[in-house]
Chain A
Amino acid sequence: MYKIVKKRELNPTVTLMEVDAPFVARKAEPGQFIILRVDEEGERIPLTVADFDREKGTVTIIFQIVGGTTERLNHLNEGEYIQDFVGPLGEPSHTEGLKKVAVVGGGVGCAIAYPVAKKLHEQGAEVHSVVGFRNKDLVILEEEFSAVSNVFKMMTDDGSYGEKGLVTDALKALIEAGNSYDEVIAIGPVVMMKFVSLLTKQYGIKTVVSMNPIMIDGTGMCGCCRLTVAGKTRFACVDGPDFDGHEVDYDEILKRASTYKEFEAKEREKACNLFKKEVR
């Protein structure tokens, strides 16, 4: 059992939790993920490590409430326990040798992009961050992100905060302004990563994206998380989750991600009914 030592609502649908998990905290690196089960009957879901504190032995996760499991997880409070919490899993993000990097985060993906930006900043790289949200109410981690960025661009779809537009608009402007990046790291909705990759391909800038497909064991056993990269089947849990953005088959990933959509919606409703809460 893993104790929740801190819980903070970042926006109405996104929650941060700091969890007491010393074995995970000991080894965790940006880009890696954990798998958790909320309770005895729970499904296994992967969540990317948002932060870690090796001394305190804690790991921070940030999750969006999308289905039954995240709804149930969100219902747990500080001092309560998560049944299973295993990790760190996956390969850490490669940051060695990078001098100037554009980090692009979209929505709750910023939670994953942030630790990468932070690590790059700590190793002395010049970090240009572009973060995008649908609107002002959904903005998360603004302070944290801007604190580790040399350039920080906030974009919203409706213009209610920062600049109106897409992250690709801001990224394009930065590239056109003469910034030459060793690498672009894009983490967010699959569609966003697809369009960032299409953009950077035109400029020939190496681009790394972080994949978050459906998983079960997360340790390299079930093959559920497979995707096509450069025409080959790869497994996000052991080969990834980071892949070359120019080689990923995004359309296939989008389809596979929708496999249990109906089931998920039903489970969410069930979980909400359980907690007598309206579906937002």
Chain B
Amino acid sequence: MPNMSLKKNPMPAQEADVRNKNFYEVTFGYTAETAIDEAKRCLNCKNKPCMGGCPVRIHIPEFIQKVAEGAFEEAYHIIQQTSSLPAVCGRVCPQETQCEQKCVRGIKGEPVAIGRLERFVADWHNANSCDLPTKAEPNGHKAAVIGSGPAGLTCAGDLAKRGYDVTIFEALHLAGGVLVYGIPEFRLPKAIVQKEIDNLKALGVKVETNMVIGRVLSIDELMDEYGFEAVFIGSGAGLPRFMNIPGENLKSVYSANEFLTRVNLMKAYKDDSRTPVLHAKKVCVVGGGNVAMDAARSAKRLGAEEVTIVYRRSRAELPARAEEVEHAEEEGIVFKFLTNPTAIVEGENGMVAGMTCVEMELGEPDASGRRRPVVKEGSEFNIECDAVIMALGTSPNPLIKNTTKGLETQKWGGIIADEHGQTSREGVFAGGDAVTGAATVILAMGAGKAAAEAMDEYIRSKNQTK
């Protein structure tokens, strides 16, 4: 008999007033009992609408049935068939707009907590199973993956499982991409990312760090001199966008990328870190995505007394995951909706003294389908702050585009690729933020997965016709 409770089992978490002062993970995850209880809420629908909402098509009802039976390792193997990063996705996917949005239980009451169950299964496996994934039989072909973020890791994992000799080229000193430089420890512990990367290495994937493709080696060199038959570009989002308003280059103005890289990758939140970060008292974060939430919550944890998120649209348009917005509010982050900065005010010593803003109202829908914010005349006002973090998205990194002949890009710089990741260059595939512009971890994974399949087909057909 299914559990007919209308509500999800809540997930235990650190008290808001405690966690906003530390960098430990916010939530603790389900216990085995809670997981089984939650799994029993699944009706095991025949047509599986939830799967249609998942970019990597996890066999959701099947794994949840195994959880309900207490067969957690079997549940893990079901997830693993289609997802290479379950412990990550269970934590960072926007389930409310994907699988859980399609869940039949959500029609009346709350959907099954698919994300929390996925996380539980992955964590259970990591804690209780010492089985390393087994290497596939080598097929004698080489493939290269540029970038070790979610798109690259997924693509590399799927290719390795098919027997390819895969090398990932990572520009930074550490693999993981946005999972290590962008998403904070309190939302995604780095030990989990490391575990996923170790799993890939166990599959035979090689990771070369400090390799900035486009500078150290070009894509043509990878293919012509190093014998890679296909290349996947998962180089991610690039340079941060700014608003081009006065005062944006003051000392205490950060891009979210810089602020989060200092805090996460370079561990500036630790007292003994050799990478500095300013500890401001009053911080304004501009933007409404997950990155803005991460930056605001990190600033709070670094000791800021007041953190305000300034967003030009209303609450309904916030692109961030619902859970992140809730967590941010619980932690004392203040939201100023329908507000847009027009200038950053200079104080002493080149530091920020405040931000001049205007109030906005929502007009007609724009190209994105969201109502376009327009300025309310005469609404100018000041917010006092000593640091500003700009979280406005990114523009693609120009390095690979500039050094790869024949690789076509959009006007705004994104690499042009079809739904299989095929670019304008034979044998060159791309996916993730490098193609779409800033998006989510799971969409990048979906793209990496599709590209791995297309690369496999491409290499096989090429070798048949020879």
A interface residues (Cβ-Cβ under 8 A, vs B)? 23-24, 27, 37, 41-44, 68-69, 83-89, 216-217, 219-224, 226-228, 233, 235, 238, 252, 255-256, 258-260, 263-264, 267
Q: Considering the chains assembled together, what is the distance between the CA atoms of A204 and B217 in angstroms?
A: 39
Whether the pair A222, B255 counts as a contact (CB closer than 8 A) is yes
Whether the pair B249, A226 counts as a contact (CB closer than 8 A) is yes
Q: Which residues of A contact B399 (CB under 8 A)?
A: 219-220, 238
By beta carbon, the residue of chain A nearest B209 is A84
Which residue of the partner chain, among A23, A86, A233, A267, contacts B173 with CB atoms under 8 Å?
Answer: A86
Known pairs A43-B275, A238-B397; list 13 more (Cβ under 8 Å): A86-B211, A87-B212, A87-B216, A88-B216, A216-B266, A220-B238, A220-B399, A222-B240, A224-B254, A233-B249, A252-B249, A255-B251, A255-B350
Whether the pair B257, A87 counts as a contact (CB closer than 8 A) is no
Q: Which residues of B contact A256 (CB under 8 A)?
A: 249, 251, 350
Nearest 10 interchain pairs by C-beta: A255-B350, A223-B255, A86-B210, A223-B240, A263-B276, A222-B258, A43-B275, A260-B276, A84-B173, A220-B397
Q: Which residues of A contact B217 (CB under 8 A)?
A: 23
By beta carbon, the residue of chain B nearest A267 is B274
Q: Considering the chains assembled together, what is the distance between the CA atoms of A24 and B211 in angstroms?
A: 10
* Nearest CB on B from A71, distance (A): 11
Q: Considering the chains assembled together, what is the distance between the CA atoms of A36 and B251 in angstroms?
A: 24
B interface residues (Cβ-Cβ under 8 A, vs A)? 171-173, 181, 209-212, 215-217, 236-240, 242, 244, 248-252, 254-255, 257-258, 261-262, 265-266, 272-276, 278, 349-350, 397-399
Q: Considering the chains assembled together, what is the distance between the CA atoms of A264 and B274 in angstroms?
A: 9
* A87 touching B215 in the complex, CB below 8 Å, given contacts A69-B274, A217-B171: yes
* A85 touching B210 in the complex, CB below 8 Å, given contacts A219-B171, A263-B276: yes
Which residue of the partner chain, among A42, A220, A233, contacts B244 with CB atoms under 8 Å?
Answer: A233
* Nearest CB on A from B338, distance (A): 26
Main secondary structure of the interface of B (DSSP, over half): loop
Q: Which residues of B contact A23 (CB under 8 A)?
A: 211, 216-217
Whether the pair A27, B261 counts as a contact (CB closer than 8 A) is no
* Nearest CB on A from B276, distance (A): 4
Q: Which residues of A contact B171 (CB under 8 A)?
A: 86, 217, 219
Whether the pair A42, B274 counts as a contact (CB closer than 8 A) is yes
Q: Considering the chains assembled together, what is the distance between the CA atoms of A21 and B238 in angstroms?
A: 26
Q: Which residues of B contact A89 (CB under 8 A)?
A: 212, 215
Most buried by B among A68, A88, A219, A263: A219
Q: Which residues of B contact A87 (CB under 8 A)?
A: 212, 215-216
Whether the pair A227, B258 counts as a contact (CB closer than 8 A) is no
* Nearest CB on A from B226, distance (A): 12
Whether the pair B173, A44 counts as a contact (CB closer than 8 A) is yes
* A233 touching B242 in the complex, CB below 8 Å, given contacts A89-B215, A259-B278, A263-B276: yes
* Nearest CB on B from A211, distance (A): 13
Q: Which residues of B contact A43 (CB under 8 A)?
A: 266, 274-275
* Nearest CB on A from B438, distance (A): 12
Q: Which residues of B contact A37 (CB under 8 A)?
A: 173
Q: Considering the chains assembled together, what is the distance between the CA atoms of A43 and B210 in angstroms?
A: 14
Whether the pair A221, B215 counts as a contact (CB closer than 8 A) is no
17 sample A-B contacts, Cβ–Cβ < 8 Å, listed by A number = A23-B211, A27-B215, A37-B173, A42-B274, A69-B274, A84-B209, A86-B210, A86-B211, A87-B212, A216-B258, A217-B181, A219-B212, A220-B398, A223-B239, A223-B242, A233-B244, A233-B248
* Nearest CB on A from B9, distance (A): 39
By beta carbon, the residue of chain A nearest B216 is A23
By beta carbon, the residue of chain B nearest A32 is B215
Whether the pair A220, B239 counts as a contact (CB closer than 8 A) is yes
Q: Which residues of A contact B397 (CB under 8 A)?
A: 219-221, 238
* A235 touching B239 in the complex, CB below 8 Å, given contacts A23-B211, A222-B255, A259-B278: yes
By beta carbon, the residue of chain B nearest A83 is B173
Whether the pair A238, B398 counts as a contact (CB closer than 8 A) is yes
* Nearest CB on B from A198, distance (A): 21
Whether the pair A222, B215 counts as a contact (CB closer than 8 A) is no
Whether the pair A224, B210 counts as a contact (CB closer than 8 A) is no
Q: Which residues of B contact A69 (CB under 8 A)?
A: 274
* A259 touching B255 in the complex, CB below 8 Å, given contacts A86-B210, A238-B399: no
* Nearest CB on B from A214, distance (A): 9
* Nearest CB on A from B207, distance (A): 14
By beta carbon, the residue of chain B nearest A224 is B258
Q: Considering the chains assembled together, what is the distance between the CA atoms of A227 and B249 in angstroms?
A: 7
* Nearest CB on A from B209, distance (A): 7
By beta carbon, the residue of chain B nearest A40 is B173
By beta carbon, the residue of chain B nearest A86 is B210
Q: Which residues of B contact A86 (CB under 8 A)?
A: 171, 173, 210-212, 216
Q: Considering the chains assembled together, what is the distance between the CA atoms of A143 and B212 in angstroms?
A: 34
Q: Which residues of B contact A83 (CB under 8 A)?
A: 173
Q: Considering the chains assembled together, what is the distance between the CA atoms of A220 and B212 in angstroms?
A: 10
Q: Which residues of A contact B266 (CB under 8 A)?
A: 43-44, 216
Q: Which residues of A contact B212 (CB under 8 A)?
A: 86-87, 89, 219
* Nearest CB on B from A2, distance (A): 9
Whether the pair A216, B262 counts as a contact (CB closer than 8 A) is yes
